[in-house]
């Protein structure tokens, strides 16, 4: 068996920054740290922090007054920030700067009187946070078919934004439908889909043509990881999204000569290595690292980490 190990893969700069934030917060104050939603959408990462005493919450009521709260990489709405202030919480904002960019674009367009069409997936943490910036001005659009149901006219002031972790092909299909129906629609000068999402998708597209099986390391609720799996599946390649080597099944590989392995932007390298080890032990796999693009992006951790103190001190 030959294994083509896609590069870039795994952690992006935003995920790295969020994890560094939480690691540093633990180092500074120890226990008693809360995170609003999962810090990133990855089971391995969340379980690691849970074992260190971090509590992941879905309601602000779960955070004690005066407590310490991190906002996850996916961002939060102004309403959540308001509640945090009212509860006198020490907050650390681990929102990915590329998500913050979309929030700022939403605010700018809303202030200028635009109706904003947000291309994304309903219920995703990032989408919820972005829509919360200007709920009266934003309409969610998930598919090209949704475009035909929109109530706007060609004379209306419209702009579109996108969730950062979408499939490039998926977003392009919706954008083309929007531009076809609304030639006047505006958009940011720089696209919203993040560099890491695009790079990982491009790597899979390039490698999967010669693959018998595609393995994507990532969690089921990770949007960007799921998009990688869908790229393989759309090309007729058996494609599997797994959290780790313990989910791999031998019969997936019995007839496989070439396997492509990659990881979503929130999946740590350790799970990739465990997957490779499984294939080496069971199928004498020879691994070839396939680098299609170099990434050198780094985001600094937020300044509020420097003033963080143990709750109640």
- Residues tagged active-site: 126
CB 193 within 8 A of CB 164: yes
- The helix/strand/coil state of 123 is coil
Task: Please give the structure tokens belonging to residue 93.
Answer: 């904002």
Task: Please give the structure tokens belonging to residue 12.
Answer: 């992006």
Neighbours of 258 (CB within 10 A): 16
Q: Name the DSSP letter for residue 186.
A: B
195: left (phi over 0), alpha (psi -120 to 50) or beta: alpha
Q: Name the DSSP letter for residue 114.
A: P
Q: Report CA 69 to chain centroid distance, whole Å.
A: 20
CB 164 within 8 A of CB 197: yes
Residues 151 and 179: their CA atoms lie apart, in Å, by 15
CA quadruple 229, 232, 235, 237: dihedral sign: negative
Place of tokens 């989408």: 127
Q: For the chain, what's the residue count?
A: 313
30: left (phi over 0), alpha (psi -120 to 50) or beta: left
Task: Please give the structure tokens belonging to residue 77.
Answer: 């709405």
Alpha helices in 78-222 (DSSP H): 78-86, 97-111, 125-131, 144-147, 168-181, 195-208
């Amino acid at each position: 068996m030959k294994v083509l190990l896609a590069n870039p893969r795994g952690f992006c700069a935003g995920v790295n920054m969020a994890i560094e934030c939480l690691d540093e917060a633990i180092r500074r104050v120890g226990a008693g740290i809360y995170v609003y939603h999962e810090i990133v959408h990855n089971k391995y990462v969340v379980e690691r922090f849970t074992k260190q005493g971090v509590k992941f919450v879905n309601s602000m009521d779960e955070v004690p007054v005066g407590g310490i709260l991190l906002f996850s990489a996916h961002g939060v709405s102004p309403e959540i920030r308001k509640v945090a202030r009212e509860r006198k919480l020490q907050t650390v904002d681990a929102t990915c700067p590329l998500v913050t960019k979309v929030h700022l674009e939403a605010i700018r367009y809303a202030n200028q009187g635009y109706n904003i069409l947000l291309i994304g997936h309903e219920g995703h943490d990032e989408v919820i946070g972005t829509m919360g910036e200007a709920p009266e001005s934003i309409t969610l659009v998930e598919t090209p078919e949704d475009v035909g149901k929109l109530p706007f006219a060609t004379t209306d002031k419209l702009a579109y934004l996108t969730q950062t972790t979408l499939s490039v092909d998926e977003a392009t299909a919706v954008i083309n439908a929007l531009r076809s129906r609304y030639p006047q629609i505006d958009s940011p000068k720089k696209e919203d889909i993040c560099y890491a999402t695009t790079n990982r998708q491009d790597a899979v597209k390039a490698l999967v043509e010669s693959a018998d099986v595609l393995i994507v390391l990532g969690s089921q609720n990770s949007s960007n990881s799921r998009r990688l799996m869908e790229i393989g599946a759309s090309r007729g390649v058996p494609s599997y999204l797994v959290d780790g080597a313990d989910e791999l099944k031998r019969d997936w590989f019995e007839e496989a000569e070439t396997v492509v392995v990659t990881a979503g932007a929130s999946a740590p390298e350790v799970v990739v290595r465990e997957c490779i080890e499984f294939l080496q032990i069971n199928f004498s796999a020879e691994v070839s690292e396939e680098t299609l693009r170099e990434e050198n992006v780094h985001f600094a951790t937020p300044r509020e980490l420097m003033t963080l103190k143990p709750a109640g001190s």
